[in-house]
Structure formats: structure tokens, C-alpha cells
Chain A
């Protein structure tokens, strides 16, 4: 058990490419922290630096209060679960799990006890004598977990451990991973590009972009008060809707409607000195106007929209409609998001942008018809277009 501290850690490759820039992150003892970001954001590199598989070119890494920059992986007392499991194919499941203990010259009888304990936790006791080649994907994944658990290390490092499983198994193993981590209380750093995993698993989530840490916080903090456009667009599914916005007095002019500027925002908007703004509205901040109770109605604005597509998920209803924008907006952060996942595109001047709204399933929304929608103005996020910084969360 130990805490992990990354103190301005950076990684620069010999060709000059900086994969991780001044990453500072404190992971408390027993905490489950998720590193999340699109591919190439440096999250895996950061994890591999903690593991010792990648050299640290700047800053300091401390595990349990001890600087480990120069230590070999074997001396860091950490266990790692790899994306492709990296099971030793020539060893049985039991040998795979006991390999680390065997290297540490633990008694064979003690190894057996520990391997059996771990196998019981992971429901692998039937398979201890089989080779990895004869196991299913989910079983292999559990062996990889078992190899980490058996050692009782200071920390678990997991590099996209679930991304090779099919969707159903992934959800199942996600709960499993969470349960095991809670029971063992071992400090865990978990890398993923899947924001759902990030939201559901972690005590805290660290969002990275292009080697730079964007924001760290609990999943709800990131969801409710994203610090910039990138975090706002990355966290949440379906993604936040973005559109150009202008402020006139006490109202925010959006492509589809004017909404009241929440009182707390006036000051921060004033400070931007009239620079271009982007508004972000989450799908659930919309509602079918006919289903909004009168108590809430005053918090928002009603507008008419042409429904282009209705997706019914049973418990919720997603409707898509278009808005036309008249502002020319450029944002690096949104462009990157769009490249990664297709989400977060801002409608360019004269173009139409698509908005997704999440409605109550009782809504009578039908494809191709006009519907009166309501938008909750208290949940509108405002971002400065140039820097991407949020005006709402600070």
C-alpha cells in the first residue's frame, strides 16, 4: 500500500516529441484514479513511466514517499495488467499467477496458498492447470488480474485492461475490477480511452490531452463543472452540444433561442472583454416543453425545433435537430475531439450543426415534425473560444 506522486513528470523522446508535459498528480493510498483521454494523449506513457517501463526525462516520481525515477520495474513493488494481458503462454494459469512470487523466492507451499486464494476471488480455481491458449478472453483477463492480485503490491497499474473484451463482458468485468479494488484497497491507476469506464470506475478521473493534464476530479465534478471545452466534450455520452454564443446584456444569444444569463456568470463574462464564446449544453438539459412542470419552466427558455431523427432507448429518447450558426469559430480542442470521436463539432458560419437532446420517453416527438423544446438555462456552460477555458466552472 502506498501513495503515488507525480511531480512535474515529463517525457520527451529523443526525436523531441513531448509525450507527457509537466504532469503533476497525487494519488492517495488506496485511491482508484483513472487516466483518460483520446489515443495519443500520453496517458499510457504516463502509466508506463510509473511502472518503470519508460524512462522519466523530467520531474520526480515518488511511490510511498520514495523517489523511484531510477529504479527498475522489479524494485518498484507494482503490478501491471496489460491491454493484451501478456500472459506467459508456456506456463499454466497457476504458474502465471505465481511467477512473481517464484521470482521473489517465496516458498512453493506459500505460493500455492496465495495462488489458490486469488483464484478463488477470480473464480479461476477450475482452470489453474490450463494453459492461457485454452482460455476464453474473459478468463485470460481474469488471469492477468490474478497475476497482479497474488503479489499484494503497493499499487496496481492497468493499461486499458478491458478494451479487448466484447461489450457485454466488459461491463461485467468493470464491476468485477471495481469490486476487487474496493475489497483489496490497493492504490490503482487505470488507463482508458473509454469515458464510460472512467466515469463508473474511478474515485477520481484525470483527463489528459496532448500530454497535458486538463482536469482532475471526481466523475461528477468533471461532468458538472468541466474546466474547458475538451473535458466538457470528452466526458459524457452522448457528448455535450456545442454552439456559438454571444452575450447581449443579460441574455445569451444561442442559434436556436435566447436564454437568460445566469447571475453568477455576469462577472466572468465581463472579464473576457467581448471575445468569442462557445456555449455547451448537455443533452439532458433539454426537455420536451409540454412535459416540463411549471415550477421549472421559468428556469429556461422554450423554442421550436424541427426534429430530424428520434432514437428511442426505452428509458430515454434522443432527438436530433439542426441549428444554423452565423459565427465563425475555431477551437483546437474541439477539432481534436472531433477527430477522435466525431463529437464536439461546432457549426461553422452558415453551416448547420446538429444538436442532440435527451427527452423524457413520454414525449410525442416524431421524426420530421416540429416540436417545442425547453432548455434549462441554469445548466448552460460557457467557454471562451480561443482558449477553450470555461467561464462557468471557475
Chain B
């Protein structure tokens, strides 16, 4: 970080600090991977490495419950992300660009929703969903996910929209664009880093959620991976310890998130607006 970190004791100090933090953060992950690769009879070994055995992975991918949960997770998270991004982009644009009555109320309302503890509504949602037929459906999970991700998405994106010089939009209008064309062809491409950042945050929220997934589902119909893991019994045998299988499943659900972040981090970091206006 600092200019002098290339040489001397600073560099050593930083390296040690970084190593400590990485170790602290990654040990549980490493342990999980190690567990998932252990042969069934070595599970209680205290050793970090006791052979590599893909049996656990084979088992979970033969398990219909897990496959179904994986599909549910992917589908629900993807749909929630898509809807959240489209709605939040338009709302954030309006909040960033327009002056209208009640703007402050909407913003503070959104913030209040984001701060609301999910646990406090989950009970009543359970009742409502059962009576309106949303219980144990994809929509039944997508709706609360939207509720909790939209405020965050709107906040993040309106911050990005505010960064974009207003002249660009006016230039587009003078060039003959309708307001919607100006939004779609000029503003959205420029806000792409913001859109991707927000998309990842929303996706992670939906993907990781356990509370709603556990409470508002009862079967494979809509149960997502975090909830399914809790009901996991390994290779469908009650007498086997499912730790190995659970670990393998946990590794599998972590992979999509890691891939997404790796793909998009470049776009997130890229400052696309460079050169738009004279700085």
C-alpha cells in the first residue's frame, strides 16, 4: 500500500500481517475441503490430510435431494438477482436524477426495510404464505429476497448513477435519444461496474439465505441448498455420519460464488467513466 513497502522492513511487516489474516480466514475453508475429501473411515482423524477420496462428492451428486436443492438455489437466486437489478436500476436512476416529492421518505423507507431484522417477519410470512399458497414455492422465497435486497441495491446503484456526469445524458437527449434510450444506451453501460457489484451482493444474499429457505419451504419443491444441507443425511443411510457429505456439499455451494466474484471483480474495479469529461 504505502510507497516504501517495496523494500525493507515495511514489506516484511505487511507480508506477515497479510499471511496472518489469510490464514485466519482460510483455515475453516481448508478444513472443510479436507473433510470433504477424507475417506469415510478416516473422518474422525485429527490429521489435516488423510488421503483423497471423491466418494463424498460422488454421493452428493447421486443424491436427488441435493441436485434438486442446487437447481432451486440457482434458479431462485438468479431470478431474484435479475428482478432486483432491473427494478433497483430504474428506482436508483429516478432517485439520483429527479427531484420529486417524497424522495427523502422513499430513501429512508428503503433504509428502514434494509435494517429490519428478517427473523421478526418470518413467523407471519409463514402464516400468510400458507394461506395464499406461496408456501414452499420459488415465488415464496423470491418475494422476501427482493424485499431485503432492493434497498441495498437501490442504495448502491444510486451512488453509482450519481457519479455519472449529467451532461452525458443531456448530450444523448440532444443527439436524439428518448429518455429511456439515454438511460439504456448511455447510463446503464456506464454504470455497469455498479450493476455488477450490486448483482453480486444480491446473488450472494439470496444464495446464502438460510432463515427464509428453512422456514418457508417444506419439500424439495423450493428448498435451497443451505436449508437442504441441514436436512442432509449423507448417502441416505441413517447410521453413517454425514459430515463428509455435508462438507462436500458445502464446498460445492461455495464454488459458484467464488467463480462469480472472480469473473466480475475486474469489471467492478474498472473505472469505466474515465475520460468521459475533462477531469
Contact A99 B175 (CB under 8 A): yes
Tell me which of A79, A80, A83, A132 contacts B276 (CB under 8 A).
Answer: A132
Beyond A84-B277, A131-B275, is A90–B190 a contact (Cβ under 8 Å)?
A: yes
Which residues does chain B contribute within 8 Å of A85, judged by CB atoms?
277-278
Which residues does chain A contribute within 8 Å of B181, judged by CB atoms?
103
Contact B272 A90 (CB under 8 A): yes
Q: Is B176 an interface residue (CB 8 A)?
A: yes
Cβ < 8 Å to A, chain B residues 168-192: 168, 170-178, 181, 185-186, 189-190
Contact B278 A140 (CB under 8 A): yes
Q: Is B274 an interface residue (CB 8 A)?
A: yes
Q: Distance (Å) between the CB of A147 and the closest chain B CB? A: 7
Q: Is A386 an interface residue (CB 8 A)?
A: no
Q: Specify the chain A residue showing the minimal Cβ separation from B177.
A: A103
**A106 vs B155: C-alpha distance when bound (angstroms):** 38
Cβ < 8 Å to A, chain B residues 157-174: 165, 167-168, 170-174
Q: Is B273 an interface residue (CB 8 A)?
A: yes
Q: Specify the chain B residue showing the minimal Cβ separation from A80.
A: B174
The proximity string for A residues 163-200 relative to B, scoring 1 for CB distances below 8 Å and 0 otherwise, is 01000000000000000000000000000000000000
Q: Is A6 an interface residue (CB 8 A)?
A: no
Which residues does chain B contribute within 8 Å of A132, judged by CB atoms?
275-276
Beyond A88-B186, A103-B181, is A74–B173 a contact (Cβ under 8 Å)?
A: yes
The proximity string for A residues 37-81 relative to B, scoring 1 for CB distances below 8 Å and 0 otherwise, is 000000000000001110000000000000000001110001110
Contact A89 B275 (CB under 8 A): yes
Q: Is A236 an interface residue (CB 8 A)?
A: no
**A88 vs B178: C-alpha distance when bound (angstroms):** 16
**A136 vs B175: C-alpha distance when bound (angstroms):** 23
Which residues does chain A contribute within 8 Å of B277, judged by CB atoms?
84-87
Output the residue of B168, B175, B272 with the most chain A CB within 10 A: B175
**Residues of chain A at interface, number, CB under 8 A:** 33
Tell me which of A104, A135, A164 contacts B275 (CB under 8 A).
Answer: A135
Contact A133 B190 (CB under 8 A): no
Which residues does chain A contribute within 8 Å of B276, judged by CB atoms?
86-89, 132-133
Q: Specify the chain B residue showing the minimal Cβ separation from A105.
A: B176
Contact B175 A82 (CB under 8 A): no
Q: Specify the chain A residue showing the minimal Cβ separation from B178.
A: A74
**A147 vs B273: C-alpha distance when bound (angstroms):** 19
Contact A88 B168 (CB under 8 A): yes
Q: Distance (Å) between the CB of B8 and the closest chain A CB? A: 36
**A131 vs B167: C-alpha distance when bound (angstroms):** 18
Tell me which of A86, A131, A134 contacts B171 (CB under 8 A).
Answer: A86
Q: Is A25 an interface residue (CB 8 A)?
A: no
Contact B278 A100 (CB under 8 A): no
Tell me which of B167, B168, B176 contacts A103 (CB under 8 A).
Answer: B176
**A245 vs B186: C-alpha distance when bound (angstroms):** 59
Beyond A53-B170, A82-B170, A88-B186, is A74–B177 a contact (Cβ under 8 Å)?
A: yes
**A95 vs B186: C-alpha distance when bound (angstroms):** 12
**A51 vs B185: C-alpha distance when bound (angstroms):** 21
Q: Is A137 an interface residue (CB 8 A)?
A: yes
Contact A84 B190 (CB under 8 A): no
Which residues does chain B contribute within 8 Å of A90, judged by CB atoms?
189-190, 272
Which residues does chain A contribute within 8 Å of B172, judged by CB atoms?
88, 99
**A360 vs B173: C-alpha distance when bound (angstroms):** 53
**A85 vs B276: C-alpha distance when bound (angstroms):** 8
Q: Distance (Å) between the CB of A47 and the closest chain B CB? A: 11
Contact B168 A86 (CB under 8 A): yes
Contact A84 B174 (CB under 8 A): no
Q: Specify the chain A residue showing the minimal Cβ separation from B190.
A: A90
Q: Specify the chain B residue showing the minimal Cβ separation from A54.
A: B170
Contact A86 B272 (CB under 8 A): no
Cβ < 8 Å to A, chain B residues 227-279: 272-278
Contact B174 A103 (CB under 8 A): no
Q: Specify the chain A residue showing the minimal Cβ separation from B179.
A: A72
Can you name 11 A-B pairs with beta carbons within 8 Å?
A: A52-B173, A72-B173, A73-B173, A74-B176, A80-B170, A84-B277, A86-B171, A88-B276, A103-B177, A137-B278, A147-B175
Given contacts A74-B177, A79-B174, 19 further A-B contacts (CB under 8 A): A52-B173, A53-B173, A73-B170, A74-B174, A80-B174, A82-B170, A83-B167, A84-B277, A86-B170, A88-B171, A88-B276, A89-B190, A89-B275, A89-B276, A103-B181, A104-B176, A131-B275, A133-B275, A140-B278
Residues of A within 8 A of B (CB): 51-53, 72-74, 78-80, 82-90, 99-100, 103-104, 131-135, 137, 140, 147, 151, 157, 164
Return the 10 tightest CB-CB contacts between A and B, nearest first.
A133-B275, A84-B277, A86-B167, A100-B175, A86-B171, A89-B276, A74-B176, A73-B173, A132-B275, A103-B176
